Structure 1
Amino acid sequence: MRLASPWSPRLSDEPGLTHERLVTALEEDLAAGRLPVGARMPAHRDLAYRLGIGLGTVTKAYSLLEKRGLVRSVRGRGMFVAGKEPNPGEIIDLSVNTPPQMLGDGILSATLAALARQMDADSFGRYRPPAGSIEYREAIAHWLAEHRLTIAADRLLLTNGAQHALAIALAAAAGVGGTVFTEALTYPGAILAARQNLQALKAVALDDEGLRPDALAAAFSAHSGERRVVYLTPTLHNPTGATMGLARRQDIVAVCRTHDAVIIEDDVYSLFTPSGLPALAELAPERTFYIAGFSKILSPGLRIGALAVPPAAMQTAQGFLQATSSMASPLMCAIMERWIRDGTARAVGEAIRREATERAAMAQAVLGSRVQPASGAGFHLWLPMSLADAASLAQGAAARGVMVTPPAAVMVDENDRAAGVRLCIGAPSLEDLMRALQTIRLLLDGSAEDRLAPP
């Protein structure tokens, strides 16, 4: 979504040619702080229309401002207020959902050294089955059975990360050009994957437990197509952080059975599932594609995903797997298997859960009731607000060296009223995180005008 310019166009009262009066007005407002660094300037035609002047006059004024270094043109995007850009070291990135770094150099070095002794060039250089070697699939099936889902190894496909698993599930379940129902606010990667498949996304209302069963039933009933497919994240929903209780999970499954709908369950945050809450794939194995991954619960560098497939869809899913990847990385699979077998995966996961809980508590203490949900662990938080407020908060934070997820990135329908800002709190150091949260708090406490004012 393209943000509107915060500038109210005017001509200076100073005498001179029209383009000179426009330049003077802009210079005056820049000096007064009415236009912050990075703010979008009005489009040429829009400015000419609003001031009742010629398009050439605007072009001449903008050219003069650019020569003076006051604005800069970005090809394909427009004209922006120029200024000192933050140094890379000064930027605190809360836009990418990354777990806290709990994997030590010693563990990684020891693992790679052990694998070097275990794996020779001949075995490394061989092609493996597209779905993954059986020993790797059995290891991940064992991992899932310990904490999430009991499933046979031959029901698992190993992928190059959970995003790859999601792309396969969407293609296999809905087909190219199909329709996918999902939360009105959802994971940006799912939006991109669906669009890549030319699939239409249908926004479904959600509440503080995630997707609403009544809204899903109504959306299914209004759909005239043959296939009904729903993508959802029951645990630590991205971006709102909501987690479905047992009754909600059962209700969602009941709606899907009534309408013979296929479920794509994204469970990459399974580490944070409260005890006693089953996966949807456990409640409805006959219709659920289940996605698990390790980059969100162990380390982003561990690009291994697992896709549990309903028996009837296995052949179709395998076809999409082979079309998109010959095989999952043997080295990544070997690391994952070793960490599961020797307990590293469990230990690192527990450390990440503790760290995420502490960080969530820190954010709660700084931001208070503005955070949704008000309690719980995880490494992303949601600040619900109007789209206009979310856009101004994101812009104000960026001007102060804090990057947040662009509000429109998580919206299925950019015209929807439900909006907000996602804060990813896992990656920064604790010191940087505190500074970033305090910056967000100051912006939240101020007015929309304050957010657009220069730092």
Structure 2
Amino acid sequence: MSIVKLLLSSSRGLSLVMKIIARLGPSMKKHKYQLIAAQLGSLIDSGKYPPGSKLPAHRELAKELQSTAVTVSKAYQLLAELGKIESFVGRGSYVGNTSLNSVIQAQEDDTVLNFSILQPCLQQNIQALQQQFTQQFSALDNPQLFGYSENTGLLEHRRAGAKWCAQYGLEVANADQLILTNGAQNALASIIALYSKEGDYIALEAQTYPGILAICKYMGRKVLPIAMDEQGMLPQALMQQCKICKPRMVIVVPSQQNPTAATMGHARREALAKVIAEQDVWLVEDEIYAFLNTVKMPAISNFVAEKSFYISSLSKAISPGMRCGYLRVPESQYSTLVDYIRATLWLPSPFMFEVASAMIDSGNAFRWAEQQKMIAAQRQRLVTQYLSDYRLQRQRSSYSCWLHLPVNCQAEGFCATAKKQRLLLSSASYFSSSGQAANAVRLSVMAIAEEDDFVCGLQQLSKLLSSYAAQD
């Protein structure tokens, strides 16, 4: 049933909306757009139309409701302000969902197999982490750790961060260009807040990390989706959109991209850097998965150092609980960003960075990151064993795989059915920056601690997928 028919036939919903409008006061009754928005919002909230569903064109809905396109436009605008829908120039309006809680389904029930969270396999190094924390906290004898520090952190902590970033492809001239943040998300939010304003376009991969979508939503930035292939963002597509829409910045995940695991080769990175150099746009390079690459790749930022911000952290390699982010900035922007972070955060916890620096300087951080990469590779081999009949996008050691579903198997329904079988998945709708989600799901291969449980989950998924194939 179409949204239009549902809107016209839902007498119970219409009655509820009329009561809501009545409570708003007599002066509000004449505003038809509020009635339309409330009824559409009710359909969205009830789940009748899941994230990614396309709404009718303004004129189409206006004709059915015997209203005007202007009234429907105002209703859609109200829904967009409430965060229920997203509108895209030339493509229409879609039911939106940028809730991180929806895609990152944390749970404490051991009987649930969680394929939704992208994190390290924590059980493998939890004991070593406990020992590292105990050792460092029992030896906190540096008075600077207990007071305020210059910039955003101690010099030795920034030097350790530079060492971490250099290991995975960044050419860091010196630690004075590195800023400490409360993880990668804090770095992203700071850059977007400081270098763009409400209403500006932010260029993103067509399928992207929900955390970026959430920041853009709450800060009032417009999302500009850029086409991708198996290596990620297409330079020519970015060039075209830069000329048309003039985005303030482009945010890219070049390695093991979330959710598609797309990874840029050397030539692609250089080509993208060339576009950045030629256009009036900042590059934000999120390389938190670079440690998973089987071959060390140069950071795109190496080619456009004065127009790029490079982000790394320990959350994916070591632990999400370590909110240690490293932000390399253009030399000309260092003091501006330091001032902004001091004004909004003051400084990240020196205690956490003391532990992180000890891990890096001792080599433990690199060994643990390599261990996680090996576990990911083994998990991907198991995915091949059980799901090879289906189209999968992934890398040899990626934390996730992008599973394309059979034609008769829709992502939202598949996730709902899987959840009833105690399998948590993430639908493609949560990752779409265009409003046109692929018919796919993202599978995290690392969050399930025990390999036997992981295999059990794959077997259940294979059986569920086969049931759809049998119906075809």
- Normalised TM-score (structure 2): 0.74
Residues 141-152 of structure 1 mapped to structure 2, 5 A cutoff: 141-151=162-172, 152=174
In structure 1, what is the Cα distance between the partners aligned to 2:277 and 2:433? 24
Counterpart check, 1:323 vs 2:365:
no
Counterpart in the other structure of 1:88: 109
Matched, 1:281 2:313: no
State the distance in 2 between where 1:306 and 1:78 align: 41
Distance across 2 between alignment mates of 1:131 and 1:87: 35
- Following the alignment from structure 1 to structure 2, what is the Cα–Cα distance between the partners of residues 357 and 380? 10
The code of the aligned residue for 1:372 comes to L
How far apart are 1:262 and its partner, in Å?
1.3
Instruction: Pick from 303, 306, 319 the counterpart of residue 323 of structure 2.
Output: 303
> Quick check: 1:335 aligned with 2:355?
yes
* Partner residue in 1 for 2:217: 195
Matched, 1:156 2:178: yes
Match for residue 351 of structure 1?
371
Partner residue, 2:236 = 214
Counterpart residue identity of residue 304, structure 1? C
1:165 maps to which residue? 187
Q: Give the structure 2 partner of residue 431 of structure 1.
A: 452
Task: Give RMSD over aligned pairs.
Answer: 3.2
The residue aligned with 1:136 is 157
**Partner-residue secondary structure (3-state), 1:322:** helix
- What residue number does 1:401 align with? 422
1:333 positional shift:
0.2
- 1:330–1:218 distance in 2 versus 1, CA, 3 Å: same
* d(CA) in 2 for partners of 1:449, 1:167: 46
Please give the alpha-carbon distance, in whole angstroms, between the structure 2 residues aligned to 1:351 and 1:160: 24
Structure 2 unpaired stretches of 5+ = 17-41, 49-106
- 1:420 paired with 2:420, answer no
Q: Which amino acid counterpart does residue 218 of structure 2 have in structure 1?
A: Q
Contact 2:408/2:468 (CA < 8 Å) preserved in 1?
no
Amino acid at match of 1:188: P
Q: Determine if the alignment matches structure 1 residue 186 to structure 2 residue 208.
A: yes
Q: Does 2:340 align with 1:380?
A: no
CA distance in 2, matches of 1:392, 1:317: 44
* 3-state secondary structure, aligned to 1:89: coil
**Alpha carbons 2:205, 2:226 under 8 Å: kept:** yes
User: Aligned in 2, Cα 1:46/1:270: closer, same or farther, shift over 3 Å?
Assistant: same
Asked if the contact 1:241/1:372 (under 8 Å) is kept, the reply is no
- What is the aligned partner in structure 2 of residue 367 from structure 1? 387
Aligned to 1:77: 45
- 1:174 is aligned, of 196, 201, 211, to 196
Q: Does 1:108 align with 2:129?
A: yes
Task: Please state whether the residue corresponding to 2:410 is helix, strand or coil.
Answer: helix
CA distance in 2, matches of 1:201, 1:58: 35
Deviations 1:276-327 (Å, cap 9, x if unpaired)? 5211011221111101010101112211000111122223322331233111
CA–CA separation in structure 1 for the residues paired with 2:175 and 2:321: 24
Provide the rounded CA distance (Å) in 2 between the counterparts of 1:339 and 1:142.
Answer: 11
> Retained in 1: the 8 A contact 2:394–2:401?
no
Q: 1:324 & 1:230 partners in 2: Cα distance?
A: 23
Measured against aligned partners, the alpha-carbon deviations of 1:158-215 in whole angstroms (never above 9, x if no partner) come to 0111111111222233344421111110011111112222111101111111111121
Q: Which amino acid aligns with 1:396?
A: T
How far 1:117 moved relative to its partner? 3.5
CA distance in 2 between partners of 1:297 and 1:185 (Å) = 22
2: distance between equivalents of 1:79 and 1:350?
42
Instruction: Please list the CA deviations of residues 414-445 of structure 1 after superposition, one character each: whole Å capped at 9, or x if unmatched.
Output: 2x253421111111021221122222222222
Q: Could you tell me how far apart the structure 1 residues matched to 2:342 and 2:461 are?
A: 45
1:46 counterpart residue number: 6
Structure number with larger C-alpha Rg: 1
Q: Distance in 2 between matches of 1:124 and 1:387?
A: 58
TM-aligned CA distance change 1:87 to 1:189, over 3 Å: closer
Query: Matched residues in 2 for 1:262 and 1:48: separation?
Result: 47
Q: Which amino acid aligns with 2:9?
A: Y
Query: What is the alpha-carbon distance in structure 2 between the residues aligned to residue 100 and residue 188 of structure 1?
Result: 21
- Go from structure 1 to structure 2 and tell me whether the alpha carbon gap of 1:236 and 1:57 turns closer, same or farther (over 3 Å shift): closer
Report how far residue 374 of structure 1 moved. 5.6
Change (3 A) 1:131 1:56: closer
User: Retained in 2: the 8 A contact 1:397–1:403?
Assistant: yes
- Give the letter for the 1:78 counterpart: S
1:10-34 superposed Cα distances (whole Å, 9 cap, x missing partner) = xxxxxxxxxxxxxxxxxxxxxxxxx
> Once the two structures are aligned, what percentage of the paired residues are identical?
27
Q: Residues 58, 195 of structure 1: CA spacing in aligned structure 2 closer, same or farther, 3 A cutoff?
A: closer
Q: 1:242 and 2:247 equivalent? A: no
